[in-house]
Structure 1
Amino acid sequence: MPRKALQRGRVVVLASPDRDSAHHESVTQRHLAREAAALLGYAYGGVHEGGPLDWPSYAVPQRTLLVDEALALGIHSDADLLGGVVPHAFVAGKAITHGLVAREAAAPAGWAYELARGLDGAVLDGYSAFSREDARIAARRLLARGPVRLKAASACGGRGQAVCATFDAFEAALATITAGDLDVLGIVVERDLVDARTYSIGTIRVGASRISYFGHQRGAVDHLGRTVYGGSDLVAVRGDFDALSTVGMPVVAAAALAKAIHYDAAVAAAYPAFYASRRNYDVVHGRDADGLPHIGVLEQSWRIGGASAAELLALRAFAADPHLACVRVSTHEEYAGGAPPEGATVYFTDRSGRFGGLVKYARTHGDGYPA
C-alpha cells in the first residue's frame, strides 16, 4: 500500500496491544509524543490506527519494535521513531546482558552466542536462562559467592525482581516466573550488590538534534510498599557519548559511561539489524558479599522510559538557547506526595487513587554542573 503524503509532518503514538500498560504509562507516552512534535515542528496526530504511516510521520512506540513491525509501518531508520528496533523480541529485554550456562543450554532462535564475550568487562557476573534447569545451574554457581538477584527479562521499573541468599529462596522466586516469559524472553540470574547506586547513561536523537547525558536514578516506595523507580537526575550536553568528556564527570560516573559505550558497541556488532534513536543504559556500582566493589551495565532501554521526559526537556532547552552547553534536568515519580514544585512539567496526576496518588513530573534545573 503506498504511503499517503502529508502537507505537514505528524507525530503519532503506537499502541501496544500485547503489553499490559498502566494508564499512567499511556498518558506519559502521549505527553512525550506531543513534546517530540513540538521539537520537530510537526502536528500531534494521536494514536495510529494501523497500516503504513503517512509520510512524513514520526512514531512514538511504547515498546521496542521488531524489524518486521517497523518495516510494515514504513519505519526504516532511527530518524523515523523515538525508540528502537530489534531483530528478535528477546533482544529488547535484559537477557542479552549475560551469556548462557553452557553452549548447549536452551536459547531462542537468533541468540548471538558471541555477545557474551563481547560484553566481558562491561557487565556483572551472571547468566541468562531460558529453562528452569539452566536457571538452577546459574543460581548454584553464583550462590557459592553470595546472594543473587533473579530478574524477569521483561520486567521494568524495578519490579519483577527478587534477591535470594539461599537456593530455597531462589526456587521460590523462580516459581513465580511463567513458562511463557521464561521460554521466550528468559530470566537473568546475577550477582547482587549492596550499597548500590544506579547510574543512567544515555543518548537520544530527535530530528537533527542529539544529546547525551549521565546521572543517577532515585528509588521510591509505591502504594503497595514496593521499592520502585522514583526518577532520574541527569546532566545533558549536545552531541554523542564522546561529548560528555567535556563535563568533567566524577570518577564512578565516567567509569559507568565507559561500560555503557562498551555495551552499546558490543550489541550493535552482535545484532547489526538493531537501531535506536534512544539508547539508555542502567549501570550499577556497589559491593559484593565480600565487600569488593563492582560496576557493570544492568540493562538497556531502547524505548521511551522513566527518564524520557527529562531528555525531551533537555532537547527543548538546547533548542531554545543555541549557546547553552550543558543543562541539568530531572524526572520525578512520587506516591502520595505534595504538590510538584513551581515550574515543573507535570504529565500525570493520579486523581482516582488507583495508582497510590502517583504524580509524574519533570524539571529543568538550569545550566552547568554538578547535578
Structure 2
Amino acid sequence: MKSADTPQDTRGAVVTLTNRPNEPEHEKVVHEQLAKRLAALQGLAFLGEYDAEASYPCPLYFVPSSTVVGTDLARKLGLEGERDLFGGVVPHAFIETKAITHPLVRPDAGSPLGWSREFSRRVTGGVLPGYSVFSLHDAREAGRRLLNEGALRIKPVRATGGRGQERVSTVQALDHALENVDEAELAQFGLVLEANLEHVTTFSVGQIRVAGRILSYYGTQRLTPDNAGDTVYGGSDLLVVDGDFDTLLDLDLPERTRLAISQAQVYDAAASDCFRNFYASRRNYDIAQGIDDRGRACSGVLEQSWRIGGASSAEVAALEAFAQGRGGKVVHASSVELYGESTVPEGATLLFRGDDAEVGFITKYALVEDYGNPE
C-alpha cells in the first residue's frame, strides 16, 4: 500500500469516485469542482480521485459518479450511512433503476433477489399504470394488459434521458419491439412497460442532506440544442428550501406542483422503508404529468436518481447560499448547460467551458437568485 501524498485531517477528507463505465471529460471536471465545494462546506480537505491502492490518513467522504452498488463494496470503501457520501448506496443493481417503480405482472412472476412487493404496494397511486418484467413471457403479458387501456411505452431500465424508449399501440408492434430485447439483460435488470402520456410536463423533486443541512426542492428541466442540432438536457431550474419536504409543501404552490412533491415524498419514504441497506444523501425523483390515451389526466413518479446529477450544481450552489446566510430560507437555483459559444451571466459559478471529446464545445454553470413568487 502506498501513502497518499495529502495533508492530515482527522475530521475526514473528500474524494471523487469514478464508478461508471463511461464518463465524459466535462462531467468528470464538474464532479471534481462540486466535490471541492462540498469539501469546503464541511471543512474537509479535498484529495482528488480515490485511489484504491492508497493508504488514506483519515475517513473519506465520497462523491461517486454513480450509485454505489453492493453492501460489500460499500463496506470496503468505509461507507456506513448517508453522511459518508454525496449520492446513494443500494444492495442490488436493479434497485437503482426505474424497475422498482412498478409491480410484477403476477404474484408468482420472476423477479431478482431483493425484490420488494411491499414497495410496489406502497407507491400505488403515486406512479403511472405499468409493470416491471424480467422475462419475455411476462413482458408480452404485461404489454397486452396495458394495451387494453391505450398506448404504452417500453423503457429500458438503465437508459437515461428517454434513450431507447419506444411507444407501442398494437400487439404486433409490441411483439416486434420485444424481439430486440437482450434476455440476459432483461433477467438481471428488468424492463418497464408503462402507460404512454401525451402533453407531458416533467417535474424534478429532490432532497440533499449534506453538512448538517437538509435541502428540498422542486423544479423543471430545460432542453437545448447540442452541437449536432439534437435536443438534449440543458439544465434545471429549482426552487429550494432550507428544510425537508414538508417545509417545501408549506410554501404557496400550485396544486399540480403539490401533487408532484407529495408523490415523490411517498416514493422516497417507501424506498427507505422497503429496501434494506439502502441509504442516500442525494435523492431526486422525476414526476410526469400528462394525458393518457383515454383523455384522463395522470401524474406519477417515473424514476429515481440517487447519485450526483445534472441538477447537482444547482443543489450545491443553494447549499452554499444557505450556509453563507444568503437568500433567507428559500432560493431559486439553476444549473445551465449550453453548447457552442455562449455568455456566462454575472454572478454565475462557471464549472466547465471548453471542448469535450464527446460533445464538442460546452459551457456549464450554476446560478442562485433571490426567491420570488413561484409560478
Instruction: Determine if the TM-score, normalized by the shorter chain, exceeds 0.5.
Output: yes
Q: Which moved more, 1:93-102 or 1:345-354?
A: 345-354
SS of the counterpart of 2:222?
strand
1:292 is displaced (CA, Å) by 1.0
Alpha carbons of 1:181 and 1:33: their partners in 2 closer, same or farther (altered >3 Å)?
A: farther
Aligned counterpart, 1:324:
328
Gaps of 5+ in 1: none
Alpha carbons of 1:158 and 1:342: their partners in 2 closer, same or farther (altered >3 Å)?
A: farther
Aligned counterpart, 1:301:
305
Asked if 1 retains the 8 angstrom alpha-carbon contact of 2:86 and 2:308, the reply is yes
Give the whole-Å Cα distance in 1 for the aligned partners of 2:58 and 2:45.
12
RMSD: 2.3
Query: Which residue, 10, 13, 25 being the options, matches 1:10?
Result: 13
Give the whole-Å Cα distance in 2 for the aligned partners of 1:103 and 1:325.
46
What percentage of aligned pairs have identical amino acids?
45
SS of the counterpart of 1:204?
strand
Q: Which moved more, 1:253-262 or 1:103-112?
A: 103-112
One-letter identity of the residue aligned with 1:270: C
Asked if 2 retains the 8 angstrom alpha-carbon contact of 1:235 and 1:369, the reply is no
Q: 1:126 aligned to 2:130?
A: yes
One-letter identity of the residue aligned with 1:62: S
Gaps of 5+ in 2: none
Give the whole-Å Cα distance in 2 for the aligned partners of 1:106 and 1:157.
27
Alpha carbons of 1:43 and 1:244: their partners in 2 closer, same or farther (altered >3 Å)?
A: same
State the TM-score, normalizing by the size of structure 1: 0.92
Alpha carbons of 1:322 and 1:328: their partners in 2 closer, same or farther (altered >3 Å)?
A: closer
Alpha carbons of 1:78 and 1:97: their partners in 2 closer, same or farther (altered >3 Å)?
A: same
Alpha carbons of 1:339 and 1:160: their partners in 2 closer, same or farther (altered >3 Å)?
A: farther
Alpha carbons of 1:331 and 1:312: their partners in 2 closer, same or farther (altered >3 Å)?
A: same
1:148 is displaced (CA, Å) by 1.3
Aligned counterpart, 1:34:
36
Aligned counterpart, 1:200:
204
Alpha carbons of 1:182 and 1:336: their partners in 2 closer, same or farther (altered >3 Å)?
A: farther
1:348 is displaced (CA, Å) by 2.7
Give the whole-Å Cα distance in 2 for the aligned partners of 1:171 and 1:330.
42
Q: 1:342 aligned to 2:346?
A: yes
Q: Which moved more, 1:34-43 or 1:20-29?
A: 20-29
Give the whole-Å Cα distance in 2 for the aligned partners of 1:181 and 1:138.
18
One-letter identity of the residue aligned with 2:58: W
SS of the counterpart of 2:269?
helix
1:176 is displaced (CA, Å) by 4.5
Q: Which moved more, 1:337-346 or 1:142-151?
A: 337-346
Matches within 5 A, 1:114-263: 114-223=118-227, 226-263=230-267
SS of the counterpart of 2:83?
coil
Asked if 1 retains the 8 angstrom alpha-carbon contact of 2:327 and 2:371, the reply is no
Aligned counterpart, 2:110:
106
Q: Which moved more, 1:235-244 or 1:159-168?
A: 159-168
Aligned counterpart, 1:48:
50
Alpha carbons of 1:286 and 1:23: their partners in 2 closer, same or farther (altered >3 Å)?
A: same
Alpha carbons of 1:155 and 1:268: their partners in 2 closer, same or farther (altered >3 Å)?
A: same
